[in-house]
Homo-oligomer: A and B are copies of this chain.
Amino acid sequence: MRLIESVREMTAWSREQVREGRTIAFVPTMGFLHEGHLTLMRRAREACDRVVVSIFVNPLQFGAGEDYEEYPRDLTRDSRLAESVGVDVLFAPTAGEMYPKGYHTAVEVDRLTEGLCGASRPGHFRGVTTVVCKLFNIVRPDVAYFGQKDAQQLAILRCMTEDLNLPVSIVGVPIVREADGLALSSRNVYLSPAERQAALVLSRSLAGARELIDQGERDAGRLRQVITEAITAEPLAAIDYVAIVDNRFIQPVDTLEGQCLIALAVRIGKTRLIDNMVVEV
């Protein structure tokens, strides 16, 4: 596996692959890899001739007071993990490589970015779309893999890719969970043992909603209420949002219909966790 840190070298490598007719699968990450990321990489490995993984803690997508500085980083461990699943190139640029002096451009998706994490993290998705657009242009993938865990991000990136006519197929990969239901996240390392236990309320509340839906419940207000009550019963948890939206444009719905997304963000102590499920009725 090759480690590339400069944009110029990464660009040259990917141009060479394209010239030689090889397909490229891409997994953009912020590093501190876990089984969720490795699942994306295995999917990428099966799909294309070459697999590129980027590790870049993107300053643009962190707001003031968020955890940019403390976000966990471990390039040595990440390299070993990526190599173990057959990644060809680990692209780990510095912030200065990605945003040199005189950098002035942003890519922005409206409407889909307004609610959910967009409401609690202003500018976050603008940072995400900007960096992913850049990475697509640098890496030139045929296919890019994203976790369904960041469901709003996935919808936004699908929209951006289609709108800007970027020649990349976007593949969403189901959430990977611990045995007890906790969705994998690099931020789970922040949790104390008691918080780790409390964090189960996210997946548990979604499972409760799923049961009601299976029994025929279609009223979004009623489902939100049930989820909200379940989370509120957990003393260490504080709700950021509980949202039920259509899964394409991320707009609130009153009644489940077609493909909907039930998404939550909850603070467990100081750690903000997200979880979601897609329901098709």
Contact = CB atoms under 8 A, between A and B. Distances in A.
A133 interface: yes
A236 interface: no
B109 A165 contact: no
User: From DSSP, what is the main secondary structure of chain A's interface residues?
Assistant: mixed
Contacts of A105: 107-110, 129, 159-160, 163-164
Contact of A7 (B11, B129, B165, B249): B165
A129 B105 CA distance: 10
A11 B167 CA distance: 9
A133 B102 contact: no
A140 to B, nearest CB: 8
A165 B107 contact: no
A102 B137 contact: no
Q: Which one of A19, A111, A133, A165 has the highest number of Cβ atoms from chain B below 10 Å of its Cβ?
A: A165
Q: Which one of A15, A21, A108, A163 has the highest number of Cβ atoms from chain B below 10 Å of its Cβ?
A: A163
Interface in A79-117: 102-112
A134 interface: yes
A48 interface: no
Contacts of A106: 107-110
A213 interface: no
Q: Which one of A18, A105, A111, A137 has the highest number of Cβ atoms from chain B below 10 Å of its Cβ?
A: A105
B166 A137 contact: yes
A238 interface: no
Given A11-B165, A133-B164, A112 B104 contact: yes
A138 interface: yes
A112 B109 CA distance: 21
Contacts of A249: 102, 104
Given A105-B159, A159-B104, A137 B164 contact: yes
Interface of A: 7, 11, 15, 18-19, 21, 102-112, 129, 133-134, 137-138, 159-160, 163-167, 248-249
9 contacts: A102-B248, A104-B110, A105-B109, A106-B107, A106-B108, A106-B109, A137-B164, A137-B167, A138-B165
Closest 5 CB pairs of A and B: A105-B163, A137-B165, A138-B165, A105-B109, A104-B109
